[in-house]
Amino acid sequence: MAVPLKDSDLVAFSTNFGTRITSAPATYGLTAAQATSYDAKHDAFIVSYNALIEARAAGTRSEAQTATKDEAKRQLLIIARELYGFVQDNTSVADAAKIELGVAIRDFQPTPVPPPADHPVIDVVSVSGNTVRLRLHDSASTGRAKPAGVKGAAVFSHIGANPPGVEQEWTFQGNTTKTVVDVAFPADTAAGAKVWFTAFWFNPTAQSGPAAPPISTNIAGGGAMAG
């Protein structure tokens, strides 16, 4: 069992998955920000899928509508696979909860590794146009190695004068197993806009550690500074 590829199956899977993680993200080892980001990709796919189905029922064949649906589906699959794997690997999520999401239960139990105790330190390496390159490391190192027992990090961003006061206002940028990551903002992001970042480490079973204190920089030439 995995995230389905057939459009009609993906509609059913994603509707169930999105509804459940939005109503109770912590039950599935996820954050409200991750659920909010998922909902945005899900909604875009559903709208484009329904529009295409209605057009075909009316006898209209549109390459543009098909392309829109395919791109929305591609974006949805990226985050769906990330969160699916996150839930599947998290041994703190009950099997019953995984099953109700449509997530397969692994046949083996990985060797227990404790959740990360510390948050990542985030450095802004560079800003190029609307893309910001970040480096994540522990407080004892500025290198590229992750702390012992850490599989990767979940990265979040926000555009605004101040960092969000609530988790839901952060935008989930994705999970990464690398310590250097590029975050690309929309092309219509205003020049000079202030952008914020936070992240948390997760272990091989997807248990997360504390979030990093937000840091900021400015799009199109701004420098990084502590939040």
Q: Which of 131 and 106 is assigned the larger pLDDT?
A: 131
Which residues have a Cβ under 8 Å from the Cβ of 1 and sit 6 or more positions away? 102, 103, 104
Specify the DSSP class assigned to residue 208. B
Looking at 56-65, 87-96, 101-110, 132-141, which range is the least confident one?
101-110
What pLDDT is attached to residue 5? 95
Q: Is 197 helix (H, G, I), strand (E, B) or coil?
A: strand
Query: In which band, very low, low, confident or very high, does the pLDDT at 108 lie, cut at 50, 70 and 90?
Result: low
> Mean of the per-residue pLDDT values for the chain?
90
- Select the highest-mean-pLDDT range: 65-79, 106-120, 203-217: 65-79
What pLDDT is attached to residue 62? 86
Residue 45 identity: F
Helices 63-89 & 32-57 angle (0-180, nearest 10): 150
**What is the set of domains in the chain, with CATH numbers?**
7-101 (no CATH), 121-226 (2.60.40.10)
What pLDDT is attached to residue 32? 92
Q: Rounded mean pLDDT of 163-188?
A: 92
Question: pTM for the complete prediction?
Answer: 0.64
pLDDT at 103 over 80: yes
Q: Which of 165 and 51 is assigned the larger pLDDT?
A: 51
Query: In which band, very low, low, confident or very high, does the pLDDT at 227 lie, cut at 50, 70 and 90?
Result: very low
What pLDDT is attached to residue 225? 36
What pLDDT is attached to residue 199? 96
Beta strand extents in 129-193 (DSSP E only): 131-137, 152-159, 171-176, 180-184
In tens, the pLDDT along 115-164 reads 899 999 999 999 999 999 999 998 776 666 788 889 999 999 999 999 99
Give the closest residue to 200 by CA, choosing from 31, 15, 11.
31
pLDDT at 93 over 50: yes
In tens, the pLDDT along 23-58 reads 999 999 999 999 999 999 999 999 999 999 999 999
